[in-house]
Amino acid sequence: MATEGPDTFPKLLLHHSRQRGGQAAIREKNRGIWHTWTWAALAGEVAALAGALSARGVQRGSYVALIGDNRPRLYAAMCAAQWLGAVAVPLYQDAAAGEILSPLQRAGVTHVFAENQEQVDKLLDILPQCPAIQCIVYDEDRGLRHYRQPQLVSYAALLAQGRELAATNSDALQAEMQRGSGEDVAFLFFTSGTTGPSKGVVLSHAALIDRARAAAAAEGLNDKDVATAYLPPGWIGQNLFSYVQPMVVGYCVCCPESSDTMLADMREAGPTYLLVPPRVLEVLLSQISMRIEDTGGFNQTLYRRAMALARRVGPRILAGEDVSLADRIAYKVFDLLIYGPLRDVLGMSRVRVALTAGDAIDPELLMFFRSLGINLKQLYGSTETGFFVAMQRDGQVRPGTVGTAVDGVELKITDRREILVRSPGLFREYHGDPHTTAKARSEDGWFHTGDAGYLGDDGHLRIIDRLMSVGALNDGSLHAPKLLENRLKFGPSIREAVAYGDGRDMVCILVDIDAASVGRWADKQSISYMGQADLASREEVYGLVADRIAELNAELAADPALATSQIHRFAILHKALDADDGVLTRTGKLRRGIIAERYAVVVDGMYAGRASVQLEDGTELKIRDAKTFAPAPARKAA
């Protein structure tokens, strides 16, 4: 696979250190102060780390794991490993010790960079089961000063060792870096495991550089852009935005101090380029809704009038379409009063391009943020495809689609409506699993995504759902649970939903309420409760959820293609769906099989017409009927 210019990430780093050495490469907020690493400083640190790692046994083909939050030193370590021809293995920082055990064992990881004591403790717990690990490098030394395990070394000590060696091994290090080729393996990413055990996805430098260049060209990215790194580094999406694309384009990445300060830090950093998954957008919308509900009176009325106008003309103005002079003036006034302050609160006042990816997004959620003047667009891809497969383009954002194919990508739809992808960004293989690789990737280069979708006459790709999730009701009508779940979540009261209906006479749904939003609503209604389980059991909360389901059912009834998808019965879960319980992936996706098994008695109860069921822990869950509507044609005929 040919690439123009430097063909590995370390070579790209040296290119930037020569071309824009004094410019900011990465910034980190620590204890309230922003610290900046220039491209020249970053290159110097990476070279020193590479020298020390080489002395400690890292070589071409080694596997080096990284576990921690987004930090400059994590990305420096990543590049240092690749400098020596090693493979970087980013892991999810919030994963339990048992979850990271399998990736470490399967990859045969020999060296690990761990951010702090929390990550080191996980590694030490499973170290007897990972005999290949020779060295654990920790960054923050708080709580670690009395640890005496021989595998442990501080980042500072490793860096000092590398700088001492620089005088004698500089030429050898440069030669080793130059040996690298675009066809070398750069990363081993482990998938989130939505439908089964996670798979190790092998991606080369050339594949990722190619996709980054194609996406950068599509969005007009340049070295003056600024991105924010706040998502898990173990996810390929965050790595593309905070490591791969900066290495290709030369823009600056900002690392917030913590998740608690993220919005405030974003306002200070002023990102122009942003990756924001649907789950984050849902949380932001919920926060906006709660803030507005708290204002009351004149401000609430003003907001509602402003949003009515924004929904009608905002996306058209953003797309450069013609609107009346009166609407344009009114939008400008409301931009000063409402939209602009909201963008500022969200840290998006300077955002030029925002992309949402990682899961399907409800079209209403997408258009809400676009109506505020945020250039939010949908992106479709996966770990195996190098992330960038299809993107919505400026002036061509159509709700319900993920845009057209990115340059270099070929799309094909099978008779089963499965989306196939052929691209220079495709993965090489599933690590150590030739059988699964052969099933997923054909000999002529087509990757079976496992997603159901279709190409419209306009060339835009539309995603239905995961192929294995798409089914049919007993009357033969389509059942695509993700569509229902996303539409139901558009609003502050419902955090997650799980729809059932395949092979059934009707659709039923499990609801996970947004405890913060519903709790504030309950306080205003003078409803007393103790904890989420008690709150979720209240009849008033069931009424609140029932009203939201009725709104959705009315919308579905008006669409002949979706009228049979109306929700007939529902139950509210007594506790939040959480990745730590195994029911969500670390990227927040539903593990449908595990949820179906864990709440089988509830699902069976909904379809058996019961008013309540008892879980294994003794908790009683109520089940209620939802209000449904006659399909639109039937109402007209009547």
Q: Which residue has the tokens 């910034």?
A: 27
Q: β-strand 620-625 against 273-275: which pairing, if any?
A: unpaired
Stretch 342-363: mean pLDDT? 94
Whether residue 637 is predicted with pLDDT greater than 60 in this model: the reply is no
Same domain, 121 and 258: yes
AA letter at 376: L
Instruction: Say whether pLDDT at 214 is over 60.
Output: yes
In terms of domains, do 421 and 477 share one? no
Residue 411 is encoded by which pair of tokens? 């799309």
Are 35 and 97 within one domain? yes
Domain count of the fold of the chain: 4
243 and 100, same domain (yes or no): yes
| Residue 393 resides in a domain | no
Burial of 370 (0-12, 13-18, 19+ CB in 10 A): buried
If asked whether residues 536 and 592 sit together in one domain, one would say: yes
Rounded Cα distance between 257 and 35, Å, is: 11
Euclidean distance between CA atoms 438 and 445, whole angstroms: 10
Among candidate residues 50, 45, 73, 75, the one with its CA nearest the CA of residue 62: 50
Are both 102 and 231 inside the same structural domain?
yes
CATH code of the domain covering residue 598: 3.30.300.30
d(CA 13, CA 180): 13
What are the residues whose beta carbons fall under 8 Å from the beta carbon of 150, sequence distance 6 or more? Answer: none
Q: What is the pLDDT of residues 54-88, one digit of tens each?
A: 999 999 999 999 999 999 999 999 999 999 999 99
DSSP strand E in 507-552: where? Answer: 507-513
> Looking up tokens 């790595």, which residue turns up?
239
pLDDT in tens, 359-409: 889 999 999 999 999 999 999 999 999 999 999 999 999 988 999 999 999
Question: In the chain, pLDDT over 70 holds for what percent of residues?
Answer: 98
- Binned at pLDDT 50, 70 and 90, residue 195 comes out as low
CA 187 to chain centre: 18
d(CA 194, CA 199): 11
Mean pLDDT of 603-627: 96
Whether 22 and 40 have beta carbons less than 8 Å apart is answered as yes
Report CA Rg, the chain: 26
In which band, very low, low, confident or very high, does the pLDDT at 484 lie, cut at 50, 70 and 90?
very high
Burial readout 482-504 (b: 16 or more C-beta within 10 A, e: otherwise): bbbbbbbbbbbbbbbbbbbbeeb
Mean confidence (pLDDT) of the chain: 94
The model's pLDDT over 448-482, given as tens digits with 9 standing for 90+, comes to 999 999 999 999 999 999 999 999 999 999 999 99
- Residue 268 within a domain: no
CA distance 216 to 194: 29
Contact 512, 497 (CB under 8 A): yes
Q: What is the pLDDT of residues 522-551, one digit of tens each?
A: 999 999 999 999 999 999 999 999 999 999
Express each pLDDT in 309-342 by its tens digit: 999 999 999 999 999 999 999 999 999 999 999 9
- Residue 394 counted as domain residue: no
Shared-domain flag, residues 170 and 210: yes
- Indicate whether 247 pLDDT > 90: yes
Residue 407 within a domain: yes
- Sign of the Cα torsion 455, 456, 458, 460 reads negative
Which DSSP string do the residues of 16-73 spell out, in sequence order?
HHHHSTTSEEEEEEETTEEEEEEHHHHHHHHHHHHHHHHHTT--TT-EEEEESSS-HH
Query: What gap in Å lies between CA 424 and CA 206, rounded to an integer?
Result: 8
Single residue among 446, 465, 484 that ends a domain in this structure: 465
Do the Cβ atoms of 286 and 365 come closer than 8 Å? no
What are the beta bridge partners of residue 290? none
Residue 201 CA to residue 188 CA, distance in Å, equals: 5
For the beta sheet containing 273-275, the strands, ordered from the edge strand earlier in sequence to the opposite edge, are 33-38, 24-30, 252-255, 226-228, 273-275, 353-356, 376-380, 390-391, 404-405
Residue 638, pLDDT score:
34
* 1 inside domain: no
pTM reported for the whole predicted model: 0.91
CATH number at residue 412: 2.30.38.10
Does 373 lie in the same domain as 420?
no
Q: How far apart are CA 130 and CA 128, in angstroms?
A: 6
556-563, long-range: CB within 8 Å, 24+ apart, which pairs?
557/628, 557/629, 557/630, 557/631, 557/632, 557/635, 558/632, 559/632, 560/631, 560/632, 560/633, 561/478, 562/483, 563/631, 563/632
State which amino acid sits at residue 35: H
User: 200-204 and 252-255 as β-strands: parallel, antiparallel, unpaired?
Assistant: unpaired
Which residue is listed with tokens 């004698």? 168
- Given a cut of 60, is residue 1 above it in pLDDT? no
| CB 1, CB 206: distance < 8 Å | yes
* Mean pLDDT, residues 15-27: 97
| CB distance 475 to 564 below 8 Å | yes
Token digits of residue 38:
């220039």
The sign of the dihedral angle between the CA atoms of 157, 161, 166, 172 is negative
Collect all residues with Cβ–Cβ distance below 8 Å to 216 and sequence separation of at least 6: 245, 248, 249
Residue 285 lies in a domain: yes
Quickly state the pLDDT bin for 635 (edges 50, 70, 90). very low
pLDDT at 249: 98
Could you tell me if 345 and 198 lie in one domain?
no
What confidence tens digit (pLDDT) does each residue in 254-312 have? 999 998 999 999 999 999 999 999 999 998 998 898 888 777 788 889 999 999 999 99
Both 495 and 346 in a single domain? no
Last residue within a domain, chosen from 238, 263, 288? 263
| Structural domain for 440, as ranges | 382-387+400-465
What average pLDDT score do residues 202-211 get?
98
pLDDT value at residue 183: 97
- pLDDT score for 287: 87
What are the φ/ψ torsions at residue 425 (nearest 5 degrees)? -90, 5
Stretch 117-122: mean pLDDT, rounded? Answer: 97
Q: How many C-beta neighbours within 10 Å does residue 402 have? A: 24
pLDDT of residue 291: 83
Single residue among 236, 263, 290 that ends a domain in this structure: 263
Residue 482 phi/psi, 5-degree rounding, is -60, -40
Q: Verify that 153 and 60 share a domain, yes or no.
A: yes
What ranges make up the beta strands (E) of 296-374?
Answer: 353-356
Average pLDDT over residues 106-129: 97
180 near 88, Cβ under 8 Å? Answer: no
Q: Same domain, yes or no, for 149 and 42?
A: yes
Sign of the dihedral defined by the CA atoms of residues 248, 20, 15, 87, in that order? negative
Q: Is the residue at 392 inside a domain?
A: no
Residue 4 forms part of a structural domain: no
